[in-house]
Amino acid sequence: MSLTVVGSLAFDAVKTPSGSRDRMLGGAATHFALAASFFDEVRPVGPVGDDFGPEELAILQTRGTITDDVEHVAGGKTFFWAGEYHDNLNTRTTLRTDLNVFEHFEPKLSPAAQDCDVLFLANIQPELQLNVREQCENARFVAMDSMNLWIDIAHDALVRTVKAVDCLILNDEELEQLTGAPTTVKAAEELLGWGLKAVVAKTGKYGAGLFTEDGYFFIPAYPLHEVVDPTGAGDTFAGGFVGYVAAQADAALDHQLFCEAMAYGTALASFNVEEFGTERVARLTGGEIAERVGELQGMTRFEIEALSLRG
């Protein structure tokens, strides 16, 4: 079995209240792969430039990730993003975005990448996502991310792409924006009507909600004393979530499976934000993940005592 992810491989410069990094490995596909590699063999697809060296490739290859589909664009430079987080990490300012080799990216998947069991379309142009989705006809589960930019400037293409996948993972406000619905619940209902099996509403530091035909599920973010760097948290969540589904190759794609996947995604994301960039997840262990998933279970369970109410 294998898991293909298409998205950015990047260098990030980040400043947060906890410190800063001038240049660190980043990108949606990178964060996704580092998380998903705990669950399955991952194949990231994306372009890099001459500045992407053996050191970066080695991090990407953590836990057996196969980098054959990382396209080296000779003479090019890797996608670069610089940003600063303010206000207790609630807002961030993009200081610089150099698309570089990403600007003319046209995903070409090797036969092995096309033959994936599970596919994740990280946040890129919806037309490209749809193109990739169509290259992977045999995938039994396809999930995707997107962002407000594409809702604004490529709404129809985004809708077509969403209708071609099984699971959409977006921020709650983006779900509302995409559908024009006044609440996340109504947005999710509309989206399930488009044929999705699962809609995941990320709510940042509060956690994430899951909507399927069989109901609703919510899991809070793991409570942390300090969030050092939120960059990549969403992609790391997706890596844990989609990776878990990939690992359970014999399980039905049902509400129960997705609830469990939510717990793994949440655990992975919580480790990601504890340090800058890929630093924490690169050296994470399976035991640490299992422990945190167990803690999350304990933090959300409650018993109902027999109680006779008045009136």
Please report whether residue 311 would count as binding a copy of itself according to CB under 8 A.
yes
Helical H segments across 11-125, by residue range: 28-36, 54-60, 111-114
- DSSP type of residue 304: -
Is residue 40 a contact point for a copy of itself (CB under 8 A)?
yes
147 C-beta neighbours (distance < 10 Å), count: 14
Size of the site for a copy of itself (CB under 8 A): 59
Q: How far is the CB of 17 from a copy of itself (least distance, A)?
A: 7
- Using CA atoms, how far apart are residues 68 and 293, in angstroms rounded to an integer? 32
Q: Is residue 2 involved in binding a copy of itself (CB under 8 A)?
A: no
Other beta carbons less than 10 A from residue 159's beta carbon? 16
Query: Residue 33 interacts with a copy of itself (CB under 8 A)?
Result: no
Degrees, nearest 5: CA angle 139-102-150: 70
* Of 39 and 80, CB closest to a copy of itself: 39
Q: Which is nearer to a copy of itself, 131 or 248 (CB)?
A: 248
- 179: three-class secondary structure by DSSP: helix
Q: Which stretch binds a copy of itself (CB under 8 A): 3-11, 38-46, 48-56, 67-75?
A: 38-46
Of 86, 163, 183, 249, which lies in the binding site for a copy of itself, with binding defined by CB under 8 A?
A: 183
Stretch 122-181 residues interacting with a copy of itself (CB under 8 A): 176
305 binds a copy of itself (CB under 8 A): yes
Please count the other Cβ atoms lying within 10 Å of the Cβ belonging to residue 14. Answer: 25
Pick the closer one to a copy of itself by CB: 4 or 135.
4
Asked if 124 contacts 6 with a C-beta cutoff of 8 angstroms, the reply is: yes
Site string for a copy of itself, 85-114 (x = CB under 8 A): ---x--------------------------
Secondary structure E strands in 7-50: 10-16, 19-26, 41-48
Report CA torsion sign: 105, 77, 118, 253: negative
- Alpha-carbon span 276 to 231, nearest angstrom: 8
> Which of the ranges 5-13, 20-28, 141-149, 242-250 carries the binding residues for a copy of itself, by CB under 8 A?
242-250
Q: Which of 58, 86, 256, 291 binds a copy of itself (CB under 8 A)?
A: 256
Minimum distance of a copy of itself from residue 285's CB (angstroms): 8
Q: Is 250 a residue that touches a copy of itself (CB under 8 A)? A: no
C-alpha to C-alpha distances, 77 to 96, 123, 128, 266, nearest whole angstrom: 15, 20, 21, 33
For binding to a copy of itself (CB under 8 A), which residues are involved?
17, 37-40, 62-64, 88, 176, 182-186, 189, 203, 206-207, 209, 215-220, 223-227, 244, 247-248, 256, 259-260, 262-263, 285-286, 289-290, 293-294, 297-305, 307-311
